[in-house]
Amino acid sequence: MSKNALKKRLNKISDSKLNTSLKEVIESFIMYKKVCGISERTESDYRKYFKMFFSNTSINLLCLPGYTELKEGVMRHFLKYTEKAPATHNLHYAYLNCFFGWCLEEGYFEQNPIKDIGLKKKKDEGKLKHLEEDIIKKLLSTIDISTFSGYRDYTITLLTIDTGIRPKELFSLLKTDVDLVHGNINIRRDISKTRTTRTLPISAQTITIIRKLINITPDEWGNHLFYTCESIPMSVSTWEKRLTFFGKKLNTKITPYMLRHSFAIYYLKNGGNVFSLQKELGHVDISMSRRYINLTENDLKEQHVLASPVNLFIQRTTRVRKLFK
């Protein structure tokens, strides 16, 4: 930032803002984001990352810190995440950068310390963890569908593998969001992470399973699609515990997002394209969907042998599977 620009920025900071506490600034920011339409989950995430930031610094929430103190606090905070996975660093970066960027525009600070320090998002080349086909088959066969809870868990598993729906969106679904006639699920704006509606197609097999679950769920329980045996709407945390229980039986880790990732991986392997995958997963940026293309080396080799244009001109005489044994 040039000296003239910095001078203008400093002049913008009024005495009233200098007397504002950092706690009040945060609440103003949260109010602004709520007006912009963030979900309750996003608000909760902002508060979580703010809490972690201040626990790593000695910054006083009851007053507005000087810029030097703030900048040093940011450096101390991110030092704790230098050895963490890129995804962890990037989450802290995203939430704090958005906040400090807003503070800059509102005139609470003369600069955004995240940008001033030169912090950037880390490139995440990590492979998204999904479940192998045999594990998914074992999971489905392990679930006891003769009980209400088992049939519900079976339905949740199939619906996630069929659509890749986010866990939070999944357990916010109402019966009225499901169109069993046309085979669609409506993700309402108020439950969507991106605050936009989208429609997810569901397969005929899944339609049959959902229809039966609705029929065996007592009407007096309410309009939610998934309930516990105590007639309480299912939550992500409850589902996580159920998957942990099944995972121990199969001696493997299973999480809700691993099922979502599995949908994406097998969707692409079975011929789906990344653009339709983006729509189904509800990704705003296609780069998020492209990460699923990062298949294993053998996957790429097998696909090349099968799809190479050379096959149009020279007959392939060697079986594909034999090449990779």
Tokens in use for 258? Answer: 């691993």
Q: What is the pLDDT of residues 55-67, one digit of tens each?
A: 888 888 888 888 9
pLDDT reported for residue 322 = 44
At a CB cut-off of 8 Å and minimum separation 6, what does 128 contact? Answer: 261, 264, 265, 291, 292, 294
Residue 2's pLDDT band, with cuts at 50, 70 and 90, is: low
- Residue 7, CB half-sphere, CA atoms under 13 Å: how many? 3
What percent of the chain has a predicted confidence (pLDDT) above 70? 82
What is the Cα Rg of the chain in Å?
25
Helix axes 148-163 and 236-250, enclosed angle (nearest 10)? 100
Q: What is the DSSP string of 30-63?
A: HHHHHHTT--HHHHHHHHHHHHHHHHTS---TTS
Closest alpha carbon to 57 in 39, 75, 44: 75
**Does pLDDT of 176 surpass 80?**
yes
Q: What is the pLDDT of residues 242-262, one digit of tens each?
A: 999 999 999 999 999 999 999
| Edge-to-edge strand list for the sheet holding 184-187 | 178-179, 184-187, 198-201
What would the mean pLDDT of 169-198 be, rounded to a whole number? 92
Q: What is the pLDDT of residues 201-235, one digit of tens each?
A: 999 999 999 999 999 999 999 999 999 999 999 99
pLDDT reported for residue 320 = 42
At a CB cut-off of 8 Å and minimum separation 6, what does 88 contact? Answer: 81
Q: What is the pLDDT of residues 273-305, one digit of tens each?
A: 878 888 888 887 777 777 766 643 446 556 666
Q: Give the bridge partners for 174, in sequence order.
A: 224
Rounded to two decimals, what is the model's pTM? 0.65
**Does pLDDT of 73 surpass 50?**
yes
Domains of the chain, first to last: 3-117 (1.10.150.130), 133-293 (1.10.443.10), 295-325 (no CATH)
